[in-house]
Amino acid sequence: MKRIADSTVRRLSAYLRFLEDFENRGLTTISSAELARRGGTTSAQVRKDLSFFGSFGKRGLGYSVPELAGRLREILGLGREWRVVIVGAGKIGAALVQYRGFRQRGFNILAAYDNNPEKIGGVLEGIPVRDSVSLERDIAREQPDIVVLTVPGEVAQAVVDRIVASGVKAILNFAPAQLHAPADVTVKTVNMAMELEGLSFALTNRE
Amino acid sequence: MKRIADSTVRRLSAYLRFLEDFENRGLTTISSAELARRGGTTSAQVRKDLSFFGSFGKRGLGYSVPELAGRLREILGLGREWRVVIVGAGKIGAALVQYRGFRQRGFNILAAYDNNPEKIGGVLEGIPVRDSVSLERDIAREQPDIVVLTVPGEVAQAVVDRIVASGVKAILNFAPAQLHAPADVTVKTVNMAMELEGLSFALTNRE
């Protein structure tokens, strides 16, 4: 398959949310214009985003809401359970564990890891907090698909090296660090300061 | 100025981080190829991103690291203090307040707001937690530039309506909700489930 840009994948996730909203309101068909309006984009962009994955909708009739929603769930890999572990049982880790949206989408958080003796053996919003020394052994046994990294920036790369060596292929990184991983490992970084910079840019460059 | 895509702004933020890293290591010039390599993109993309903002670097000599870093800080609006308030003093709010990267970049968190009587009047990592009923009055007096929204999804739009009516022009939204705001208000949404979907997509569509 052609390499799909991150921005396209984000729009697909957004379209799915709109479609589910339409489903809840009992709508059965939707035009690319309506999807575009909800997403703040253009009909041409919607059609282009979907065209990567085959042919959808009927000219003049629009898309079937349940059919397109189902297809988007498939494309996004949401038809199954994903096993997730969180490394770093701090405030961001706790915020993520309690986030209801994850389980709803099939993201099942197995455990959190920390090296703080006061946290190890405890429970974080119903999720066990384990000693990070057992990370490799647990990964070998439980085969998590995704690791969420919420450790301090200084130790982030060392943790990435350990989990990559253990065979994990997808990392969601909240640590303020530029991480290096082999090409077959997908690393997505959420950088809070960069999100705010998007706003300071917008405020600075207003017409 | 031409409308600049979010993805471009994100890359500018990333380039600035690489340049600061180069500065710390005492490097004075850098090629677009090196910047591209660090950012996982192409030299052509780097040159195109920078070309929106004028002419940089000398052919064959590359960019001056301090000059380009300074210019990027200016472009991103980082040469000044930005006043930030957080609405919602829950776990995500607490995680953000303690995030060291913000103050470093000039984002000064004035206060957090909540409607929970047990939290109001307290202190969250050194930041006062105020009653959200005083939001409009405080915004009028303190004129924050940016509101970070970490309230439950069900009440997010109502809070947005209040802060927009109070004159705030930039919102960083962590609530799992599709928000509506006038065109002159910039809303950036960080959706944790969508970040994970980017990974489930990558895992599902591996070669």
Query: Are residues A120 and A27 both part of a single domain?
Result: no
Q: Is residue A207 part of a domain?
A: no
For B191-206, the pLDDT digits (tens) are 888 889 999 999 998 8
Q: Where in the sequence is the domain holding B102, given as residue range(s)? A: 82-194
A196 contacts B146? CB cut-off 8 A: yes
Query: Are residues A89 and A112 both part of a single domain?
Result: yes
A204 contacts B77? CB cut-off 8 A: yes
Of A188, A196, A198, the CB nearest to B195: A188
Query: Are residues B54 and B89 both part of a single domain?
Result: no
Residue B1 has pLDDT above 70, yes or no: no
Check which CATH number belongs to the domain holding B139 and give it.
Answer: 3.40.50.720
Query: Are residues B167 and B183 both part of a single domain?
Result: yes
Q: Is residue A86 part of a domain?
A: yes
Q: Is residue A199 part of a domain?
A: no
Residue A142 has pLDDT above 80, yes or no: yes
B196 neighbourhood in chain A, CB within 8 Å: 82, 84, 102, 105, 107, 146, 172
Please report the DSSP string for chain A in residue order: -PPPPHHHHHHHHHHHHHHHHHHHTT--EE-HHHHHHHHTS-HHHHHHHHHTT---SBTTTBEEHHHHHHHHHHHTT-SS-EEEEEE--SHHHHHHHT-THHHHTTEEEEEEEES-TTTTT-EETTEEEEEGGGHHHHHHHH--SEEEE-S-HHHHHHHHHHHHHTT--EEEE-SSS-----TTSEEEE--HHHHHHHHHHHHHT--
Query: Are residues A189 and A88 both part of a single domain?
Result: yes
Query: Are residues B105 and B176 both part of a single domain?
Result: yes
Spatial distance between the Cα atoms of B84 and B112, rounded to a whole number of angstroms: 9
Domain boundary among B39, B74, B109: B74
Q: Is residue A204 part of a domain?
A: no
For A49-77, the pLDDT digits (tens) are 998 888 776 767 789 999 999 999 999 99
Spatial CA neighbour of B165 closest among B128, B132, B137? B137
Query: Are residues A96 and A190 both part of a single domain?
Result: yes
Q: Is residue A33 part of a domain?
A: yes
What does the pLDDT read at residue B3? 73
Check which CATH number belongs to the domain holding A50 and give it.
Answer: 1.10.10.10
CB of A3 less than 8 A from some CB of B: no
List the 148-187 stretch of A: residues with Cβ below 8 A of B.
Answer: 169-172, 176, 178, 184, 186
For A154-193, the pLDDT digits (tens) are 899 999 999 999 999 999 999 877 789 999 999 998 888 8
Query: Are residues A120 and A70 both part of a single domain?
Result: no
Query: Are residues A68 and A39 both part of a single domain?
Result: yes
B107 neighbourhood in chain A, CB within 8 Å: 193, 196, 200
Residue type, A91: K
Query: Are residues A71 and A137 both part of a single domain?
Result: no
Query: Are residues A136 and A89 both part of a single domain?
Result: yes
Of B4, B99, B192, the CB nearest to A192: B99
| Domain count along chain A | 2
Of B38, B102, B169, the CB nearest to A196: B102
Query: Are residues B86 and B70 both part of a single domain?
Result: no
Q: Is residue A49 part of a domain?
A: yes
Spatial distance between the Cα atoms of A45 and A49, rounded to a whole number of angstroms: 6
- Per the listing, tokens 């470093």 go with B104
Query: How would residue A39 be classed by pLDDT, with cut points 50, 70 and 90?
Result: confident
Domain boundary among A37, A56, A75: A75
For B14-61, the pLDDT digits (tens) are 899 889 988 988 999 999 999 888 877 888 989 999 988 887 767 677
Domain boundary among B36, B53, B74: B74
A75 contacts B201? CB cut-off 8 A: yes
Residue type, B101: G
Q: Is residue A179 part of a domain?
A: yes
Spatial distance between the Cα atoms of B9 and A180, rounded to a whole number of angstroms: 22
Q: Is residue A178 part of a domain?
A: yes
